[in-house]
Amino acid sequence: MPDNAVPGDPVPDHRVADEIVAVQARIAAELARLAVPRWLGGLVTPPPAYVRRHAVEHAAAGGVLGGALLSPEFLPYVDAQRLRALTGASTQAVEVWRNVAYAWDWDAPAANADAFEFAAAALGVTGAAGAGAGGLWRTRWAHWSLGTGEIVGRHAGVVAAVATATLPDGRVVAVTGSNDATVRVWDLATGTAIGDPLTGHTDMVCAVAATTLPDGRVIAVTGSWDNTVRVWDLAAGTAIGDPLIGHTSAVLAVAATVLPDGRVVAVTGGYDATVRVWDLAAGNEVGDPLTGHTDMVCAVAATTLPDGRVIAVTGSADATVRVWDLATGTTIGDPLTGHDGPVVAVATTVLPDGRVVAVTGGDDATVRVWDLATGTAIGDPLKGHTGTVVAVAATTLPDGRTVAVTGSWDDTVRVWDLATGTAAGDPLTGHTDTVPAVATTLLPDGRVVAVTGGGDGTVRVWDLTTGTGIGDPFTGHTDRVQAVATTTLPDGRVVAVIGSDDDTVRVWDLATGTQLGVPLPTPDAVTALACTQLDGDPGVVVCSGSILAVATIRPVLRPV
């Protein structure tokens, strides 16, 4: 109080306001002491609810919003609506947070921490504390178009094709093709692009394969809607030779293999209904185009027969499957007919008796098994599905039987004995919508299982020996599940990694049927997943629209 003040005089408004600000600052300082999460008994103890909801408001009112209350450690716990309203608050951590705040969930701070770390990796910000809230993921790197419209990754469009390779210096890389007409090479350990974009295509790159030439060069082969095939030296970051021209329409499928004479070749299928073989070292076409299909070639696979012949198997919208001797450039036998609609899925495997077979799924709702040496169907069409067969996987059961597992638009999963050409048990029912994703794996107890994702948003696990579901369906996704992969953690647990149209990735322990950690929010629907190993840790490559990211699952998983 000033010396000339008279007791009882009203306190000036500015002094009241200053005192309020000071009080708010003192409250904020006390709350900041409680804002640090703590680990007790292996579990995260979050800050008190009042701190989570109101600490930022007190700090803003006291003019001290910053520090611990805007740190990566506390942001996963903050009330997003209250912080978002404080538009003046800005630190590096807040700028990262604003890109993923749309995904904030009060009840899932660990998922918030993972999303924060995901965004921080995209922005190149270090020190993100995903583990501080019990997060499951360690993001190695991520590139995507952030909410501000700034392109953080180098692709300007959807990533349409992905392959992996190992460079001569030991670096493991991903090769991506995009609808921006470029090809990119990414160091999977560091998340950095290797060199400039590989340019030359003039339309979407929709097919990628990687292989090694006899001289040791690691190359990528790409097919595009510009009707060309291109070959790229991945270490040098340059095109090898001129574009391979011959297709008169989009190149939809690419596979790479080695001929008996040592030549490394690419096999391409096109919208022009032709199959072409290219010598990747010489940069020219091997023989004439392989013709016979009367509609676009949708799928290509390459394998080797017991007699040493290297072959390609192609499926087409003309409802046929064809087998090609790649050394002679001739068909092996007549076209494999029997499907009554487009052949949309092809896989190859080996039966217990040594026969190499192709398993095909069609729009006619049937599955067919073909002996690739004789060019004949094995048994009758495998009937039972009532909708298009959209997913095929093959595996071997403990009793030695080789089986195919198929998912269909009829909402069912079926298991087929490929040696006898019969259904192995009844259809596996439970999904209430299409089954677009199928994977198989082996559990630690010896059971061979299938993991299926459905349009109903659920994931189911099936014992392929008994033909029964294991446990309850995995629920939590709020939209279609369309990407499924499996991997093994360092402690031996076999897990499924699931991507969904609900913009999340989830991890499930297949032995116990429990979810590990909380979902990883992604900026868009997850369209593809692949599991790999990075420096000994289980890693996941995630593709979603223009997003490309690599993350590892934390070695120590704690419940939250």
- Report d(CA 282, CA 270) in Å as an integer: 21
As beta bridge partners, residue 488 has 494
* Share above pLDDT 70 across residues of the chain, in percent, rounded to a whole number: 88
> Which of 106, 99, 101 minimizes the C-alpha distance to 46?
106
Q: b or e along 176-193 (b: 16 or more beta carbons within 10 Å of the residue's beta carbon)?
A: bbbbbbbbbbbbbbebeb
Q: Please, which residues have CB within 8 angstroms of residue 2's CB and are 6 or more apart in sequence?
A: none
The least confident of 171-180, 437-446, 494-503, 507-516 is 171-180
Residue 381, token pair as written in the block: 């069409």
Q: Tell me the three state secondary structure of residue 19.
A: helix
In this structure, how many other beta carbons lie within 10 angstroms of the beta carbon of residue 16?
Answer: 11
Per-residue confidence (pLDDT) for residue 479, from 0 to 100: 83
For the stretch 466-502, pLDDT in tens is: 888 888 888 877 788 878 888 888 888 899 998 888 8
Tally of helices (H runs) and strands (E runs) in the chain? 5, 39
The letter for the amino acid at 424 is: A
Q: Please, which residues have CB within 8 angstroms of residue 204's CB and are 6 or more apart in sequence?
A: 157, 160, 177, 178, 179, 180, 181, 224, 225
- Report d(CA 201, CA 181) in Å as an integer: 5
Q: Tell me the three state secondary structure of residue 178.
A: strand
Torsion of CA 295, 433, 402, 330, to 10 degrees: 0
Per-residue confidence (pLDDT) for residue 311, from 0 to 100: 92
- Report d(CA 453, CA 465) in Å as an integer: 20
Name the pLDDT band for 149 (thresholds 50, 70, 90): very low
**DSSP per-residue letters across 310-327:** EEEEEEETTS-EEEEETT
Give residue limits of the domains in the chain.
13-135
Q: Please, which residues have CB within 8 angstroms of residue 328's CB and are 6 or more apart in sequence?
A: none
- Report d(CA 131, CA 39) in Å as an integer: 11
Q: Please, which residues have CB within 8 angstroms of residue 17's CB and are 6 or more apart in sequence?
A: none
DSSP letter at 69? G
The number of residues making up the chain comes to 560
Residue 221 pLDDT > 90: yes
For range 113-118, the mean pLDDT? 88
- Report d(CA 443, CA 536) in Å as an integer: 20
- Report d(CA 185, CA 167) in Å as an integer: 11
pTM of the model: 0.60
Residue 544, token pair as written in the block: 């979603």
As beta bridge partners, residue 499 has 483, 505
Higher-confidence residue of 471 and 89: namely 471
